Structures are given as structure tokens and as C-alpha cells.
Chains A and B, each alone.
Chain A
């Protein structure tokens, strides 16, 4: 995964969200959210259901007005120049709502006209979108007759018909089967090479597969941001090494704790044939595995498993969105004291 967490200095962000708050009655859907997106980034917007992803996107696309804060898209403010903002964004709302009584071509033409594409370019553009989104086989049908997967593709075609600088995709792969998901992701990755994309999802592998940067939102607030790799190491508080070796348990634990690179040692329990399993944490996973290996060789312990573990985005997500982080921390600390 390439990292574009670092932005070119001096280039203004394409999307600049500043302190957006949106309430629905007593519920605060989005609470003082700020972030920036630079040209060419594919930002994964991650959060559990009802975390505020859709609301943030709706504010950005001028479908909803925020109660506080503002946002600018390519320098245009959502309050002052909503039409300019809308012109620059291609927005695929959640579950791709479409006019079901229209034919595929008719629908694309309608959006192209509404988007103000020059008349002589509309046919060409519609054909291009049909190719890009693989709609060639369903042109004779009304949108309402299409399967979920094809509707999603029509939705994407509608979103991209005016070749926008920015794509805002709200859960673009929900309801698709695995092969459709892969196709849509490929499509998004392809688009992401040329455009700025914000895509929301609650499916973690999707973000890992498509995004260069991740924003995690929970209960209306951004709780973390970074590349998938950065977030993973953040969640672990460093790296983890899992080992399984045959040695007296307490002796092994005592000696492992003396390793300079190991900050936390957890005993995971007895394995088979007298093997003991441990998990070690430390800042530098590579050096830590070396130290474990040297120790085992020195003591003549049989080593069955020695594995660096990276946190998945799932770990990060669960820690940040369910409040397990503190519990975990205190448990390992306790274990260490024992």
C-alpha cells in the first residue's frame, strides 16, 4: 500500500472541512468534524453504522446544511457557492438511488444534460461510461429491472458522467456479491489514480484494498487518521511478536522480560507437548524477533513459532470504536506485574 499521508506542502487541499456539526433533534450526528483531503488521495471513511459518515458526505455535497462549521471544495464554500461545489463533485449516495422508470441510456443522458455537458459531447460521454462501468449488456432494460450490482454500476456511471475532480462514494459496494465487490473496487482504484476520492464503508478490507488514507469516525467524531499501516501500528502500541517455545514457563517469562526490546510480555498459555506461548510487544518488531531467537538458542529452547504480527485495521477499528483499548492496556499491565 502506498502512503500519501504526507501532503505536498503549499498545495491547497481539494476538500477542507472545518468544524462541521450537524444535529437531528437531540442526536448529534456529526460533532465538530474537521479534515482535509488533497488532490489524488483516496480517503477511506470508516466507521460503524450511524457514526456520521453519510451525514458528513451529505454536508459536503450540499444536500444537508451543517448547524455549525463549513466546508470548501476546490476553494468554493458550501454555503456561498453550492452550485460550484456540486459541479465539482460526483456523488453516489448510499444504496445508489436512481430513477427506476428510466432506461439506462436515458438516465445517463438526463444526468449529463442536468450537469450541463455540451450537447455534442453527451453521446460520446454516455458511451464511455457504459464501457467503463460494463453496462453494455443491460442497455435495453429500465433501471428498475436491473439487479443490485448493475444498479450500483449505473449509479457509478451517473456519478462520473461529468468527469468530476472529486468523487464522494457512500458505501459503494454494499449489497454486492463478492465478485461484484472486487470489480467495483478495481473500478474505484482505477478512478483513484486520476481523481480525489472519499469513500465511506464499514467494511474494513475495502479500505485496505482501495484507500491511501483512512479516517475513522465514531459517534460523530474523527477518532483516528493515517495510512492503514500507521493506524495498525498505532493500535498495537508498537509491534507484536508471537512465540511458542519449549521451556519452563516462569523461567522463560522472566528471561523474555529482560529482553531490551520487549516492553510487554503476555503469557498466552500452554501449548501442546510442553510448549509455552507468549506474545511480546515492542517498538521494533524485527529487532525483537532477533532477540527472541538469540535467547532461545542461548538457552537451548526449542522454538516452534516466531511470528511478527501486524494489527489489522479491524483491531484498530475495534479499539477505537468500542472503547476496548483501555481495558486491554490495563490487562496486559496487570499481567506484567504478576
Chain B
């Protein structure tokens, strides 16, 4: 447990202490606000819906970028040889890094607060979708992050980690879309629909917090974190 907290603290400070962290936050806030306000004034609706609709696509690039460094850099600089010879299990290192990434992501999400403030100033948005939307964002970000961490653990090249993570997240995002579902055998369709990230996000963003969605996100995160721990562990056998 102490190892988890130590790693979490170290990685989180590393985000905030590096120029990359600030570039990330600035770019994310600028892009998300611009995409939202452009539509906001165009549509003239006091709704957060356009904001949450664009987020899964924005996260597709930002979250893998936030995660790509985590393991790949350790390997590149050789610091994994320090980290993995400390008396800590692979699992606690993985969880520590994941929580640090999640804390950073939560910070980025929290910094979008001017958006709901502006929306409530000009209108009267429903609190359900607002809370649900933000919760959905955190869960979506956490799922992407676990995929990004896994991708980072299988290479020492951060660019490769980024591309692999984006591709995996993209696949998971669109697998439940109608475009995909019409192209597969009818039997598979419900399975793929369940697997698609988009549907679960949309359902939470409507303000409906369903256990099935929570279980889904929990499973995706657990799966990729355990794959991550496996990948780290398996390097001993290379």
C-alpha cells in the first residue's frame, strides 16, 4: 500500500513538474473549450451535451499521450532496473502509476469547470446529465488510461506506445457503433454493442448510473491493468 502511494506521489509530481504536463493541460483545455463554445453559440442551447459528445474523441488522443511515458520511459532510461528491484510487487507499481494518471486526468477534467459555469449562467441545465457526464468522463478516461499504460509497458518507444494505445482505444470506442454492428453476424451484435465504450459512456452521460456500465468500466480497467502487470513481470523472462 505504501508503495502504491509513493509511486502515485512520484508520478503525479512528475506530471506537474514537467513542461509536458502544462502543455498537456493547456492544449486540452484550449481544444475542449473551443470545440464546445463553437457549437454552443451556433446551436444556442444551454446544454452540456455537445461538450460530452466530443470528449471520447478528444480523450482518444490526450489520454494515450498522458500515459505513453509511464513505462516506456522507465525502460528507455533503465530506471525500471531500480524500480523493479525494489521490494514492491508489480501490481502495486501498476496501480500507483494508474492512480497518478487518473489524478492528473481528474485535474484536467476539473479544470474544464468554466464550461458548466457559463452554461448555467445562460440557462438552467439539468444537474443529472452534468454529474453523470463528468462521472462518465472520469470512467472513460480511466479505461483509456489503463489501455495506455498497458501499451506503454510493451515497448520502450513512447510513440509506439501512443499509437498502439490510440488504436486500441479507437477499436473499443467504435466496436459498438451501428456502422460496425451492421457489418457483423447478427449473433455477435449484442456482444459488440456491450463491448463498445461509446454506449456505456452515453448512458452514464444521460445521467443514468447503471451498475452494468460501472461493471463494464471496472472490467476494462482491471483487464488492462492486469495485462500491464503481466507485461512488466514477463520482462524478467525475456
Contacts and interface: CB of A to CB of B under 8 A. Distances in A.
B236 A63 contact: yes
Given A101-B17, A158-B82, A64 B87 contact: no
Contacts of A158: 82
A98 B82 contact: yes
B85 A63 contact: yes
Nearest to A109: B6
Interface string B73-89: 00001110110111111
Contacts of A111: 82, 86
A100 B17 CA distance: 12
Contact of B2 (A87, A95, A101, A116): A116
A114 B78 contact: no
Nearest to A65: B236
A24 B237 CA distance: 9
A251 to B, nearest CB: 64
A93 B86 CA distance: 12
Interface in B1-30: 2-3, 5-7, 9-10, 13-14, 17-18
A303 interface: no
A115 B85 contact: no
A265 to B, nearest CB: 53
Contacts of B3: 114, 116
Contact of A116 (B84, B87, B237, B238): B87
A115 B86 contact: yes
Interface in A246-287: none
Nearest to B82: A97
Given A87-B87, A110-B6, A115-B87, A24 B77 contact: no
Contacts of B10: 99, 102, 110
Interface in A41-87: 58, 61-65, 83-84, 86-87
A107 B18 CA distance: 16
A158 B3 CA distance: 16
A111 to B, nearest CB: 7
A299 B216 CA distance: 101
A102 B86 CA distance: 18
Contact of A98 (B9, B79, B89): B79
Contact of B84 (A24, A63, A102, A110): A63
A97 B84 contact: no
Interface in A83-136: 83-84, 86-87, 89, 91, 93, 95, 97-102, 106, 110-111, 113-116
Given A63-B236, A64-B236, A86 B79 contact: no
Contact of B86 (A99, A100, A114): A114
Contact of A83 (B5, B89, B236): B89
A114 B6 contact: yes
Interface string B217-238: 0000000000000000000111
Q: Which 5 A-B pairs have the closest CB atoms?
A: A97-B78, A113-B6, A93-B81, A65-B236, A87-B87
Interface of A: 24, 58, 61-65, 83-84, 86-87, 89, 91, 93, 95, 97-102, 106, 110-111, 113-116, 158
17 contacts: A58-B81, A63-B81, A64-B236, A86-B86, A91-B82, A93-B78, A98-B79, A98-B82, A99-B14, A113-B5, A113-B6, A114-B7, A114-B86, A114-B87, A114-B88, A115-B87, A158-B82
Given A97-B78, A114-B88, 19 more contacts: A63-B85, A64-B238, A83-B89, A84-B87, A91-B82, A91-B85, A97-B82, A98-B82, A99-B14, A99-B79, A101-B14, A101-B18, A102-B10, A111-B82, A111-B86, A114-B2, A114-B87, A116-B2, A158-B82
